Structure 1
Amino acid sequence: MTSNEVLAAINACVIIPTYNNGKTLKQVLDGVRRYTSDIIVVNDGSTDETARLLAPYTDLTIIHLPRNSGKGFALRTGFLEADARGFDYAISIDSDGQHFPDDIPKFADEIQRNGPALLIGDRNMNQAGIPGKSSFGNRFSNFWFRFETGITLADTQSGFRLYPLKQIRNIRFYTTKFEFEVEVIVKAAWRGIPVRNIPVKVLYNPAERVSHFRPFRDFTRISILNTWLVVVTLLYIRPRAYLRTFREKGFKRFFLEDLLHSDDSTSKKASSVALGVLVGLSPLWGFQTITVFFLAFVLRLNKLIAFAFSNISLPPLIPLIIYAGLQVGAFVLGEPTGTSFQWTNIGTYRAFIQQHLTEYIIGSLVLSIVTAAVFGVGTYLLLNIKERRKV
């Protein structure tokens, strides 16, 4: 297969977003043209000699944006053009000269071997010459991507990527700057699109490379985006995934497969059960899901098991749980709770709780701690008995 047939085999084009990279743009264009002539250049409002440099390349698709709108906007513009021209994939490569065009065939080979995916070039961030801020930013991004998707990658910030256009076509994106490259991979993973790394080379030449990343402003944007993505993950994505698991398996199958036959240790499974019960019975109404996921992640416990047992506070049981918390709180504080409590009127127990808020909070905390301990110890003993029977 000739170099020009490499991308044609997977019906892919190359998108090159550029902004004031006149020093390196020509060498990048000439390097990419060795592998394909299906190139879309998006000039993101450059004010240097970029327009003049692009003029001789009449065989390429060149889009001149009237003003600088951000890398994310330039990429999205390129995606629309590539999709309109019927391409299935688009490879993005930065115009600052840090990427090697001879790595382009690796993306096509990976798709042919392992099927559709969103591929991200994995740079060696430990080699000499890599700025410390770039290495830190990459580790920061990798951590939050793993938290938001459960997928571990070595490099999530590389701009050398392959995008499956048809799979991401209907995803709604909101960002237009550097943070878009975070948004697109997280939302792709949420849609079930495989996201993988492939090794690529990288060159940092401070004499020629011009970076438009503004550390404070762009890092702030990325942090705000990650905060929002984490909230969506904890309140919607994770619960949705786990609820789908429950519906598919049912509680009995979940109990047998995820609790009894999980590869986690007995103590870890028992601790996960205890955490779920603790959060489920605590007075954190409206925040129980986000709390249980956060604590399970921090404590390195089984998130699925913890989430399952946090649902001990199912709607039919809520009045009973509230009543038990009130009674325990009254007992601890040595105060009566009264006898005129009517469960049939929702306004009645709301008003009742307001009058006895201290008893309710203290009682709920005591109830959740004691019940969590009972469930945790009980689960630990049950699993140990099962293990002994196996032996």
Structure 2
Amino acid sequence: MSLNNELINNKISQLHVCVIIPTYNNQHTLKRVLDGVLELTNNIIIVNDGSTDGTSNILKEYQHLQQFHFPENRGKGVALKEGFKHAISLDYQFAITIDSDGQHFPNDIPHFINALEQNETKDILIIGSRNMEQEGVPGKSSFGNKFSNFWFWIETGIKLKDTQSGFRLYPLNVIKNLKLYTTKFELEIEVIVKTAWKDVEVKNMPIQVLYDESERVSHFRPFKDFTRISILNTWLVFLTFIYYFPRRLIRNIKKKGLKRFLAEDLLGSNDSPKKKALSIALGVFIGFSPLWGLQTILVISLAIFLKLNKTIAFAFSNVSLPPFIPFIVIASLELGQLVLGEKISYSIEEMMENFEAIEHLKTYLVGSFTLAIIGAAVFGSIGYFFFTFFNKKHVALKND
């Protein structure tokens, strides 16, 4: 072991890091990966996920390492969870995962260790970022990665260059408290999203990558696995809109107090008065529109798509909180009559008791969207003048 490798070996031990290697039918590359990792550490956990090739014979040469053998293939997600479980039982605090198909270079492990050492809080998940533009990268891998990056951004607000690389460093103190349900390749997405939701830093770090089709065996099934990943992302996006984002907003308000939250997150935002005003207008429009049950999903989706302030848009979409709904419905009916030039008969008392039972649907819908447009214009305009005035006043105070 060279002096540099010995130094890394010591750091790995001091930081309580292990290397987990899940493998399935990678007999051509497994030995090279194992030998490369062994140059840096013996803290290795191998999970043989039911291989049917010569993997078992190769692993007989490494009986001094921690090994688990599944009698049949159960999926990469299950293999990783088994590795995490055993690493935690051995009191490791971090786990580096590396694929056994030869695309990763074990000599990149020191970069993970140095990045971990430099991180003060040690609450960090690092994903190796591959150069997906280099020659030899399969088109399906590049597309799948871009697809995954986009949904990770939607779900967490974090922009990454690579969310699918299996070369990662995980904080096991966080992993042990996560409820993970998936069993295949999609587990790697589930883990990073739920880790980010725990307010743990998730970041990329450049790594080398090799796609040698003459010896590399990929077990990613484009249709089946892409479908599973899509289903997972659909569920995570749903949770983001109905739980994660509102929870984060409420926690932020509780942590800072309403006055400080308004000052820092709304008034003190670096967004321009125009952008803030448009965010208010969007929130009010969605809040007043007859899209009950979909407002949160729509307002956050549109705020992201239109690159507006998600916090402001979501906050103002709550003009349709349950206590206000009967009054919004009544105002919509009155406006609908005005726009259509017709007169309908309804009881306010009955509407207050059962405002969902709307007999005059056309009148309500026309009035509702009219109210949404007027409300968006009024609140947006007021917001624009307010934020413009506030910004000028803030600048004047700074200059005094």
TM-score normalised by length of structure 1: 0.95
Separation (CA, whole Å) in 2 of partners of 1:362 and 1:14: 62
Partner of 1:182: 189
Partner of 2:378: 374
Separation (CA, whole Å) in 1 of partners of 2:384 and 2:125: 41
Separation (CA, whole Å) in 2 of partners of 1:46 and 1:350: 58
Separation (CA, whole Å) in 1 of partners of 2:53 and 2:287: 59
Question: Of residues 64, 69, 82 in structure 2, which corresponds to 1:59?
Answer: 64
Question: Of residues 13, 22, 30 in structure 2, which corresponds to 1:8?
Answer: 13
**Residues 208-357 of structure 1 aligned to structure 2 (within 5 Å):** 208-338=215-345, 340-342=347-349, 346-347=353-354, 349-351=355-357, 353=358, 355-357=359-361
Separation (CA, whole Å) in 2 of partners of 1:116 and 1:5: 21
Q: What code does the residue aligned with 2:383 have?
A: T
Task: Classify the secondary structure of the residue corresponding to 1:91.
Answer: strand
Contact 1:6 1:105 in 2 (8 A): no
Separation (CA, whole Å) in 1 of partners of 2:382 and 2:217: 61
Q: Which of 200-209 and 312-321 deviates more?
A: 312-321
Q: Which of 304-313 and 336-345 deviates more?
A: 336-345
Separation (CA, whole Å) in 2 of partners of 1:117 and 1:249: 24
Separation (CA, whole Å) in 1 of partners of 2:277 and 2:8: 56
Two-structure CA RMSD over aligned residues (Å)? 1.6
Separation (CA, whole Å) in 1 of partners of 2:306 and 2:7: 52
Separation (CA, whole Å) in 2 of partners of 1:83 and 1:336: 70
Separation (CA, whole Å) in 2 of partners of 1:37 and 1:251: 52
Q: Which of 253-262 and 46-55 deviates more?
A: 253-262
Q: What code does the residue aligned with 1:34 have?
A: E
Residues 239-294 of structure 1: CA distance to partner in whole angstroms, max 9, x if unpaired?
Answer: 11112223334444333333332111111111000001001111111111111001
Partner of 1:86: 91
Q: Alignment identity in percent?
A: 56
Separation (CA, whole Å) in 2 of partners of 1:201 and 1:25: 17
Partner of 2:76: 71
Partner of 1:173: 180
Question: Of residues 147, 169, 181 in structure 1, which corresponds to 2:154?
Answer: 147
Q: What code does the residue aligned with 1:98 have?
A: Q
Contact 1:319 1:343 in 2 (8 A): no
- What's the CA shift for 1:65? 0.2
Contact 2:8 2:113 in 1 (8 A): no
Residues 335-360 of structure 1: CA distance to partner in whole angstroms, max 9, x if unpaired?
Answer: 2232532168623x333x2x122211
Number of equivalenced pairs: 388
Task: Classify the secondary structure of the residue corresponding to 2:369.
Answer: helix
Q: What code does the residue aligned with 2:222 have?
A: P
Question: Of residues 15, 19, 29 in structure 2, which corresponds to 1:24?
Answer: 29
Q: Which runs of 5+ in 2 are unaligned?
A: 1-5
